[in-house]
Chains A and B, each alone.
Chain A
Amino acid sequence: MKRITKIAVSAVALAMPVALVLSGCSSDGGNGGGGDNGDDNTLTVWAWDPNFNIYAMKEAEKIYQKDHPDFKLDIVETPWDDLQTKLTTLAQSQSFGELPDIFLTQNNAFQKNVINYPDLFSGLGDSGIDFSEFPKAVADYSTVDGVNYGVPFDSGTAIGAYRTDVLAEAGYTVADFTDITWDDFLTKAKDVLAKTGKPLLSGQAGSSDMIMMMLQSAGASLFDNDGNPTIADNAALEQAISTYTELVKSGVFVEVNSWDEYIGTFVNGSVAGTINGVWIVGSIQSAADQSGNWAVTNLPKLDGVPGATNYSANGGSSWAVSSNANVELAEDFLKSTFAGSTELYDTILPKAGAVANWIPAGGSSVYAQPSDFFGGQAIFADVVKFGASVPSNNTGVYYYEARDAVSAAITKIIGGADPKDALAEAQSTVEFAMG
């Protein structure tokens, strides 16, 4: 009997604080995430990186507040994968009232979301934003049937970043890796590996990032203009895959199991370079002991593929205005900041490394500032130049499915399967997914 009393007392003791927290939280429950918060001057935003896009949003808030002192942002930190889950859930349950005013979307997934869930978005056709001030390749990611749905934010312009000290040890400079083809790259990288023991590249096994960058550098895609998959009988794709296979087999490209290991390979110095979107410089710079020993240049281009260039992109994101937004305010805010303020880009570039897509910002003197980590190179000015030459890439609704199918094919090909068979299988997988 005594024991029961004791249990009851401890249960109540535990339940009390819980009840307090719960009642505190439920009082404002159901208030929604979005523009229905009853305040005409507050916008809710979903974004995912406090040091990058959230930071940029906060700076944009400060700039907009100069002319609109009552303006406020309520930024909710939401990783992209979770953001996508939320968008899907809200769209399928038709609970549009819970949408924020503005949300950030990965460029690769933008068209897929607009086409599958058009009710989530507000078109920006009448916003007065001049989309010709963004590179066409970038604005195209968030354009469906001629209507713009997103204001491009960060650039996914691809860079080749290499350790200058390791290259020097093998008798090379970064100039030897500029404007070259993948064949040249292979020869030189094998030489670097033989002389220094360090591979120049690494990446996640089973990821198609590298292949996709090669493909886009030649303006090629996994779909034709009508949206039909072109995975089988795609000369550019076959060339990209055979290059990639050669890179891996020669030991120049180290495949690791996870993203964290990939970052680890160059941060701990076992790999002497990487090729990725420019946002990777944040991770490169976390290796403080390698300061001054890095340089940035363009990508090798594919051999024997018509339209091949030394420029590509990976990643990048754009701001979307939701269907539940205070549309007028959201559009004016984006127009006056991300699509209209050089001051904003001048602030966020040096602090967060956010390279502008907005062309008028590219001429700013901030971009010409040398970076000590990259041996005094003005890397961002170079990246803006690269960005202007990136060929457009057709993404579409099934881009993720096609990428996954190609990833699976690459794993098989590296394991020894015939490339033609593996790609034909990938093609039929995507066709099956498309129904």
Chain B
Amino acid sequence: MIRKLRGAGGYAFLTIWTLFSLFPLYFMAVSATNTSQAVLSSRLLPGLELFNNAAKLFAAQNVGAAMLSSFAIAVGTTILALIVTSIAGYAFEVYHSRGKDVLMGVLLLAMMIPFAATMIPLFQMFAKIGMVNSLFAVIIPAISTPLLILLFRQSTRSFPSELVEAARMDGLGELAIFARIYVPTMRATFAAAGVITFLTAWNNFLWPRVILIKNDVQTMPMLISNLSAGYVTDYGVLMLAVLFASLPTMIVFFVLQRQFANGITGAIK
């Protein structure tokens, strides 16, 4: 009986908590269908302004191009980052060399340098090689992060080394071992790393804002920033843009949710 009550209390707590967490999302969706004045008056019911807001948004901003740029950056970064950091994390764990722990320590230390400190030299480098306004300039600095290398290294600890040895005896090359045995086994880790990278790349704001100068290479976060920069902000339109910008990240997260949870906890199939 007590256990039942406790269970019910737990559910009630979780339900309330869920409502709290979902409210901003609900408000965002509802506000996208309301006028600016209604949003400011905190109207919580859906309105009839969705098409009006959409018309205004598409008239004011090139949403298609921004979505495409953001998508290109996020997907490009995710694919490259997964390749680079999984190989690095695998190598750090499977191969043995004297300096590897020192090297890992240096990598982790690099996590502590804030981006603002490296932005100006980075800009100088990209300006020198003529890559201002290039989406590659956004992708390249993001493809190797100490966090992902650490994530892959930690998960590789639970990857059975007997598998590698058996494969070597069967005459499989090192690259083939990585591609045919390691990658399929570590699916969950790849999913988790993929979600993290995609979200970070999609939401990245400061660096793209600085390095992408022209109008035709805007990303979604830059577009949202534009919408709220004027003297008069149309909050309905703004919320619709925010909704558009959040959809891809939501989809990616929901599709990979289960693997994400497994990957973070280090489970192996």
- Pick the interface stretch among B67-75, B106-114, B166-174: B67-75
A residues 180-223 in Cβ contact with B at 8 Å: none
A98 CA / B119 CA spacing, docked (Å): 15
Determine if B265 is an interface residue (Cβ-Cβ < 8 Å): no
Determine if B63 is an interface residue (Cβ-Cβ < 8 Å): no
- Which residues in B have their C-beta under 8 angstroms from that of A132? none
With both beta carbons as reference points, the residue of chain B lying nearest to A91 in the complex is identified as B120
Q: Is the CB of B210 within 8 A of A86?
A: yes
Determine if A279 is an interface residue (Cβ-Cβ < 8 Å): yes
- Which residues in B have their C-beta under 8 angstroms from that of A11? 79
- How near does chain A come to B172, taking the closest CB pair, in angstroms? 13
Q: Is the CB of A50 within 8 A of B230?
A: yes
Contact with B along A241-256 (1 / 0, CB 8 A): 0000000000000000
Majority SS at the chain A contact face = helix
- Which residues in B have their C-beta under 8 angstroms from that of A81? 229
- Pick the interface stretch among A29-37, A115-123, A231-239, A379-387: A29-37
Q: Is the CB of A263 within 8 A of B40?
A: yes
A85 CA / B119 CA spacing, docked (Å): 11
Q: Which of B60, B69, B210, B225 contacts A21 (CB under 8 A)?
A: B69
A134 CA / B136 CA spacing, docked (Å): 45
Q: Which of B41, B135, B210 contacts A22 (CB under 8 A)?
A: B135
Q: Is the CB of A4 within 8 A of B130?
A: no
Determine if A48 is an interface residue (Cβ-Cβ < 8 Å): yes
Q: Which of A4, A50, A76 contacts B184 (CB under 8 A)?
A: A4
- Pick the interface stretch among A280-288, A330-338, A417-425: A280-288
Determine if A376 is an interface residue (Cβ-Cβ < 8 Å): no
Determine if A82 is an interface residue (Cβ-Cβ < 8 Å): yes
Majority SS at the chain B contact face = helix
Contact with A along B180-209 (1 / 0, CB 8 A): 100110000000000000000000001001
- How near does chain A come to B50, taking the closest CB pair, in angstroms? 18
- Which residues in B have their C-beta under 8 angstroms from that of A93? 120-121, 123-124, 127
Determine if B4 is an interface residue (Cβ-Cβ < 8 Å): no
A48 CA / B124 CA spacing, docked (Å): 25
Contact with A along B123-139 (1 / 0, CB 8 A): 11001011111111101
Q: Is the CB of B230 within 8 A of A28?
A: no
Q: Which of A25, A52, A86 contacts B135 (CB under 8 A)?
A: A25
Contact with B along A79-112 (1 / 0, CB 8 A): 1111001100110111101100000000000000
- How near does chain A come to B219, taking the closest CB pair, in angstroms? 12
Q: Is the CB of A288 within 8 A of B37?
A: yes
Determine if B233 is an interface residue (Cβ-Cβ < 8 Å): yes
Determine if A176 is an interface residue (Cβ-Cβ < 8 Å): no
- Which residues in A have their C-beta under 8 angstroms from that of B225? 79, 82
Q: Is the CB of A51 within 8 A of B230?
A: yes
- Which residues in A have their C-beta under 8 angstroms from that of B33? none
Determine if B226 is an interface residue (Cβ-Cβ < 8 Å): yes
Determine if B215 is an interface residue (Cβ-Cβ < 8 Å): yes
Given A25-B217, A267-B37: A18 in contact with B72 (beta carbons within 8 A): yes
Q: Is the CB of A18 within 8 A of B133?
A: no
Determine if B146 is an interface residue (Cβ-Cβ < 8 Å): no
- Which residues in B have their C-beta under 8 angstroms from that of A76? 213-215
Q: Is the CB of A279 within 8 A of B229?
A: no
Q: Is the CB of A14 within 8 A of B79?
A: yes
- How near does chain B come to A351, taking the closest CB pair, in angstroms? 13
Q: Is the CB of B72 within 8 A of A32?
A: no
- Which residues in A have their C-beta under 8 angstroms from that of B42? 264
Q: Is the CB of B41 within 8 A of A29?
A: no
Determine if B76 is an interface residue (Cβ-Cβ < 8 Å): yes
Shortest Cβ-Cβ A-B pairs, 8 listed:
A30-B130, A79-B229, A29-B134, A49-B230, A264-B40, A282-B232, A268-B41, A93-B124
Interface, chain A (partner B; CB < 8 A): 1, 3-4, 7, 11, 14-15, 17-18, 21-22, 25-26, 28-33, 48-52, 74-82, 85-86, 89-90, 92-95, 97-98, 260, 263-264, 267-268, 279-280, 282-283, 286-289
| New contact pairs (12) apart from A25-B69, A260-B233, CB-CB < 8 Å | A4-B183, A18-B71, A21-B135, A26-B134, A26-B135, A28-B133, A33-B133, A78-B226, A85-B206, A95-B127, A264-B41, A280-B231
Interface, chain B (partner A; CB < 8 A): 36-37, 40-42, 60, 68-69, 71-72, 75-76, 79, 119-121, 123-124, 127, 129-137, 139, 179-180, 183-184, 206, 209-210, 213-217, 222, 225-226, 228-235
- List 23 interface pairs A-B (beta carbons < 8 Å), by A numbering: A4-B180, A7-B183, A21-B72, A21-B135, A25-B133, A26-B134, A26-B136, A29-B132, A48-B230, A50-B230, A51-B230, A52-B232, A79-B228, A81-B229, A82-B209, A86-B209, A89-B119, A95-B123, A95-B132, A263-B40, A263-B233, A267-B41, A283-B233
